[in-house]
A and B are shown apart, each in its own frame.
Chain A
Amino acid sequence: MNSTLNLLIGLAMGLNLLALGSSRLPSVIRAMAVQGVVLGMLPVVITREFHWPVALVALVTMGVKGFGIPALLRRAMRAANIEREIEPFIGFVPSLLLGAIGTIAAVAVAQRLPLLPEHAGTLLVPGALATIFTGFVLLVGRVKAISQVCGYLIMENGIYLFGMLLLHSTPLLVESGILLDLTVGVFVIGIIVDRIQRAFDSLDTRKLTVLRE
């Protein structure tokens, strides 16, 4: 079980770097969506026996993160008519290197943490830390609103990974609630992106710092 788990989390960590390194918005969105699907499988892998509610939540998570939210983002992208990130605050090579350093640091830190014995052999904690860090880099380093939303969603994936540690004690209802909030959030952001595009003729968030009548 642990090797499947580690393989899935390793895949998610690789997708982090893919999201950091690609300049095209569709590929960032795709990386985020695939990561959502990969992480959505985790509850089924962790609880060894088959439970209906767990399988249902896994399915809904995969559906929303892998297909629902990316579809909303793609729509916003088409409406705003942008394809790629041109001049990020943190360039692609530096952000890729930052992500790699963050991943290595996460693995190193997680080995020092006093974890439960059943979590010590897995990549759950380092994966969560690395994914949250990737989300931060995307949020801080990108200029376009849609990339920042992707950063926010990748950060949420990291928090979701942390939640997997407590899978046996938190009700899955909490995760469903978070999922609902997330969908509403992305929905609202889609509308805001459209408004920003109409008001400023660009999705560059640097232009949103000046107050005007």
Chain B
Amino acid sequence: MSTLLDILLRLTLWILLAPLLPGIINQVKAWVAGRRGPPVLQLYYDLSRLWRKSVVMSTLASPGFVAGPAVAWVALVGAAILLPIGPFGGGLSFKGDVILLVYLLAVARFCTTWAAMETGSAFEGMGAAREVSYAVLTEAALITAILALSVESGSVALDRMLALSAGTGAVLLAAGLFAVLLAENCRVPFDDPNTHLELTMIHEVMVLDHSGPPLAVILHGAALKLLLFAVLLSEAVLPMGRMSPLAATAALVGAVGAVTIGVGLVESLLARFAFRRVPLLLTIAFLLCLFALLLAWKGGPA
């Protein structure tokens, strides 16, 4: 009974807090640009507005058009439940849960691209192709980072993997995972969440034909994914296991806030990269994670 209550509490926490992050990022961007910007809670208003609207469906679309976003959202929520929250541990912790986490993220991506192609528009197919071709590189970096954490802690359970920091490798790992976060969540050097130019969109183009509740679910899922990666990055770098519960919670909240503000700053100070330079940047992220793995494996520099 208490496990059920625990999981329910976590679910509410993840679902309620997720839309806060894009709001903070927008606030930082507005502050840097000297504007007033939308309220921090803007995404909550958007979601409730979208939820009340009806759905417009293409005549070509199969039920997959609605099922795709739903399955993707459930997969992301599942991944969030697996991730331990600081001192409170994971909601469902078992040996090898990290592998499930990677696959849940992949399922979410598959369903989003599948729903994007349901409309039969070549435009959305193009976005799906871009999303998937970037994913090949980001997933390599993410899996290498997870391997590094796993070698460092000698365990394949997220609970123990994220408890300790990776030492010297933590700096490399942090840089690599930050680049993965930016790429996975379609933030600025890789993709611009605000753009609506056909040549440059990646994520936006995939969700162009969605409307009403499915679009709300997609937007909420994207916010959830951002929060998930921010928590993963913070816990991978901070030595959570060595702090008192209170300090660990404060550190986690502070680190997630710092990551969010960092994303906002990157977004306001950096221009989007040209397409052909993106693989180079992702290769660098992969190499950073690879060297972190080698450091963890060889126990410090030679």
Contacts and interface: CB of A to CB of B under 8 A. Distances in A.
A107 B301 CA distance: 9
B153 to A, nearest CB: 22
5 contacts: A17-B284, A17-B287, A21-B283, A92-B280, A93-B283
B279 A93 contact: yes
B280 A122 contact: no
B301 A10 contact: yes
Nearest to A124: B302
Interface in A66-80: none
Nearest to B172: A14
Given A92-B280, A93-B279, A93-B283, A100 B301 contact: no
Interface of B is mostly: helix
B10 to A, nearest CB: 39
Contacts of B30: none
B294 interface: yes
A111 B284 CA distance: 25
B302 A122 contact: yes
Contacts of B233: none
A104 B302 contact: no
Nearest to A104: B294
B186 interface: no
Contacts of A104: 294
A39 to B, nearest CB: 16
A109 B298 CA distance: 14
Interface in B248-302: 279-280, 283-284, 287, 290-291, 294, 298, 301-302
A93 B280 contact: yes
A21 B280 contact: yes
